[in-house]
Structure 1
């Protein structure tokens, strides 16, 4: 999918953040444009692009089933609709232009917005309100995409709602002391690093997932206090020393981490959930077996 943002050819100097312009969208199934419409659908392009970036970012990190973009001083709008999994339909006036993944859509919009900004923003005064707003929105979207490279938008939303944020760091001392005194557990660096960033997060989200139901999870090692015999058996079966990091499925499964960072799940028996913590969190958040 390709987006194009442009200032209208008939705009008179000097350039302004309130200049009119157009949006063109080329999809694999259909195209859409604000050009040549009656009534005129040209829009305040700098402000409209800012609204699109902010609205799409909130949609991709939120839970709403659909998002309709708004344009300033124009009736032109695009509709973004979740259709299952990570797939999103982009439509114009009820006609689907293309179905793509959330990441593909975000990349397409951002790359085109960056191209427009490189060509058009230098012509605006540094203190122009439209320029400042668009630069701020581009920065927020860039930071959003950096987080997306770590995991999906759905995982980011689940973790954010549970209390995670970039740079989060909490003390693990109370958990280490409690599990050492009531279970004889000795923490390793992989578990310490994981709990420093994610310890204490709780997600009660339940429902359909990608390949299995989402069961919710609690990243609190204290749930395994005095369960040293269970963890000895799980560790023996896994062939590595497992340290508790929480529970899933309302306490029916323990979550545990190996010294190499791999995450296991089990109670009566143990299964490798993921080879990395980030992959494990994504599986828990999205319902992946």
Structure 2
């Protein structure tokens, strides 16, 4: 899983566009390479994703849907007793343990913040919302790990660090489709 900030947008702001790339044992989904474009306001979108997955991991909801801010990119997450099913518009992406889902989402959100959040003006409320959601999510990720809620499903497995598609302005290379059987 990877969150990408699109280049060449002018001065950084909380409304910067970006993309999401998810690859798991069952498939992959990305916001790049679609017509119409599915790039999203990345800081707002990840904040919403963190809050949505937080609801899932704390048991406040067994199903959550995520739609990127100001775009049509969507994903859904459904918990069962054993795992969390992750789906994109074209089908399943992965079936993972709760702790694994928490870890990959946290890792991607922290990486984007480490690489790009310092460029967003400190007075921008979106940056503050992102940091607050990230801190809150760290707590639930830690609690989920400590509960031992993860089963050895490895739904994101070795694909977690896969290279995301290249983003060039508002266009991106199409994703190669690889079916896992």
Using structure 2 for the length normalisation, give the TM-score: 0.77
Supply the RMSD in Å over aligned alpha carbons.
1.5
The structural deviation recorded for 1:152 is 5.4
| Equivalent position of 2:108 in the other structure | 112
Say whether residues 1:71 and 2:58 are aligned partners: no
| Equivalent position of 2:95 in the other structure | 99
SS at match of 2:141: helix
Cα 1:35–1:94 shift into 2, 3 Å: closer
Q: Number of residues paired by the alignment? A: 149
| Equivalent position of 2:6 in the other structure | 8
Contact 2:102 2:144 in 1 (8 A): no
The structural deviation recorded for 1:94 is 4.9
Higher relative contact order (CA 8 A, sep 6+): 2
Q: Which residues in structure 2 correspond to 1:124-135 (within 5 Å)? A: 124-135=120-131
Task: Indicate which of 14, 20, 23 corresponds to 1:23.
Answer: 20
Q: Deviations over 1:141-199 (max 9, x none)?
A: 0111232233256xxxxxxxxxxxxxxxxxxxxxxxxxxxxxxxxxxxxxxxxxxxxxx
Q: Deviations over 1:119-147 (max 9, x none)?
A: 01011111211211110000000111232
Q: Which blocks of at least 5 consecutive residues in structure 1 are unaligned?
A: 154-289
Task: Indicate which of 73, 76, 84 corresponds to 1:88.
Answer: 84
Larger Cα Rg: Structure 1 or Structure 2? 1
Contact 2:57 2:140 in 1 (8 A): no
Using structure 1 for the length normalisation, give the TM-score: 0.49
SS at match of 2:38: coil
| Equivalent position of 1:213 in the other structure | none
Task: Indicate which of 50, 57, 62 corresponds to 1:60.
Answer: 57
CA distance, structure 2, for counterparts of residue 114 and residue 97 of structure 1: 22
Cα 1:137–1:63 shift into 2, 3 Å: closer
CA distance, structure 2, for counterparts of residue 140 and residue 53 of structure 1: 9
SS at match of 2:138: helix
The structural deviation recorded for 1:36 is 1.3
SS at match of 1:69: strand
| Equivalent position of 1:33 in the other structure | 30
SS at match of 1:149: helix
CA distance, structure 2, for counterparts of residue 100 and residue 137 of structure 1: 22
| Equivalent position of 2:144 in the other structure | 148
CA distance, structure 1, for counterparts of residue 139 and residue 62 of structure 2: 23
| Equivalent position of 1:223 in the other structure | none
